[in-house]
Structure 1
Amino acid sequence: MKLKEIILLILALLCLLDSAVLTVRASVTLGLFLMYGLTAALFVYFFFHRQIDGFCSHGPGALLRIVFFCGFAFFLCLVGLMELSALRAAPTGEERVIVVLGAGLRGEQPSDTLRRRLDAALDYYQEHPGCLLVLSGGQGPDETLPEAEAMARYLRAAGVPEQDLLLEDASSSTEENFAFSLRLLRRRGLGGDTPMLFVTNRFHCYRAAGYARRAGFSRAAALPTGTSVFVWPAAVMREALAICAYWAKI
């Protein structure tokens, strides 16, 4: 077996392992199906790489190869954009509102991704008493309760008093997270110019910051969190598509 075939096999097996872990541990998302597709593509290329390479060496196949590598380069640029965006708009310590973006449940418990966001928000809240925690997330089709309620239960158990929690349980997208959260804040006498901190994963910060501005938050900072090594590949592929959709709506 040649080095190329060994590398392909290792990548395919790693993706297969990741797909299996996500199937068991994560909710059904577009990212999961993208990981299935990547796994299948790698195995197909492993078994038929000689024929595929031959087809891509001339004619229409050569054009497809150029398109593929241009698309891959564009994807890498998007990944770089995600990572660099997490470094912008760091918290100043003056934030009075902490918006925690929902990220799926496992049963009635926060997923690993959501738990990371909640823990980061809790740490900031404990270091800056007096902040209002806005928990933003509706109920998905495969969930038994709104994400906002599951987040509230988690934070109550950690000692956060009820008066410091504001539940936004109707949103189903990042755009709605911010729009609906601001609507609730205005009922509390707070506006878009209130210093606000949103908590989400690093890969999500670029699009989240854009939707925060679009909703009317003029003083929004980001508190990025890490992502499980198993979740990251599928999440980044999904987020790359979401960024393209976000640009199309601008």
Structure 2
Amino acid sequence: MLKVLFTVLRIMVGAIGLVLIIDCVLLIAAGKINFGTLVPLGLGVVLVIHSVYWRSIYSYVTKPRWLKYGWYSLWGLLLIWLISFTLFIQSLQQKIKLSAQPLPPVAAIIVLGSGTVAGKPTATLAKRLDTAVTIIDAQPSAMIMTSGGIGYGRQRSEADIMASYLHTEHSVPFERILQEGTSTSTQENLSNSKIILAAQGVDLAEPIAIVTSDFHIIRAAAIARHQGYEQPVTVASPTPLSIRYNAWFREYFAFISGWLLGEY
């Protein structure tokens, strides 16, 4: 029975590792070389190696007692990490469902940036803007703000590109759109936006919609509250399927990083 259990575990470990490798290699081939692709790629390689050479590795590490305990400890840490990651994903999915409920009247709509390519929004950013249009159309009195600075080697701010997209693709008048074009992170997005909101007479005590990707809503809401937004209403836009699960993986570490850095 124990032998069968180890065989099943070995197959599962190998399958998970293979999926991670394929996913990350495809993303890296598309130019997405970052923490969220390199870490799971390394983890995938380790899992596949353990699956293929399970007996040899087990035989080697179980001879010295200290190495045996260390090996078991590493697998224990991996199990703890998997449990915490699962809980994070469950919480994220609950928040995504809540964000799909009808939106209350808001004083402002802030759309957070997510990258541009050749002067156009990425697929992820386009989804955010498309999602924001639903609120813009439903609440014509709400102030609209696009938020995103000038990337390395770029000439136009992300906020400007976002405003152009809203105008050309959805006929949103330019005069309705305010631009926050200096930020380089979510923290700066919301911090810099506060200055513009105050200049327009919008109080942070009022409900303010923050449109971002579904994987990002927990962290965005936490940062907003930390910065004094009393009623942030996060609106989740769908993440393209090709990068969805990798984005969830990266966001788990980003959330921990944000907490360690005191962003919330």
* Paired AA for residue 54 in structure 2: H
Instruction: State the partner residue of 1:188.
Output: 200
Q: CA shift at 1:175, angstroms? A: 1.1
Deviations 1:180-217 (A, max 9, x none): 11111111121212321011122211111111111221
In the alignment, the residues of structure 1 paired with residue 59 and residue 131 of structure 2 have an alpha-carbon distance, to the nearest angstrom, of: 51
Aligned residue for 1:14? 19
Deviations 1:135-156 (A, max 9, x none): 1112333655322122111101
* Contact 2:14-2:52 within 8 A present in 1 as well: no
10-19 or 117-126, which deviates more: 10-19
Cα distance change of structure 1 residues 21 and 105 upon mapping to structure 2, 3 Å threshold: farther
Cα offset, 1:233, TM superposition: 2.5
- CA displacement, residues 69-110 of structure 1 (integer Å, 9 cap, x when unaligned): 112212222222222233456553311211111111223221
- Give runs of aligned pairs for residues 108-147 of structure 1, distance below 5 A: 108-141=119-152, 143=154, 145-147=156-158
Count residues in correspondence: 249
Corresponding residue to 1:219 among 201, 217, 231: 231
Using the TM superposition, name which of 38-47 and 166-175 deviates more: 38-47
SS in 1 for 2:103: coil
CA distance in 2, matches of 1:11, 1:230: 17
- Alignment TM-score, normalising by the size of structure 1: 0.87
**Amino acid aligned to 1:119:** D
RMSD: 2.5
Q: Report whether the alignment pairs 1:41 with 2:25.
A: no
SS in 2 for 1:231: helix
Q: 1:238 aligns with which of 233, 250, 262?
A: 250
CA–CA distance in 2 between the matches of 1:146 and 1:95? 26
Task: Report the structure number with the largest CA radius of gyration.
Answer: 2
Q: Which of residues 62, 76, 100 in structure 2 aligns to 1:66?
A: 76
1 or 2 for the larger relative contact order (CA 8 Å, sep ≥6)? Answer: 1
For structure 2, the 5+ residue unaligned runs are: 1-6, 63-67
Change (3 A) 1:99 1:50: farther
1:163 and 2:179 are equivalent in the alignment: no
Deviation (angstroms), 1:116: 1.0
Identical positions, percent: 26
Cα 1:27/1:170, change in 2 over 3 Å: farther
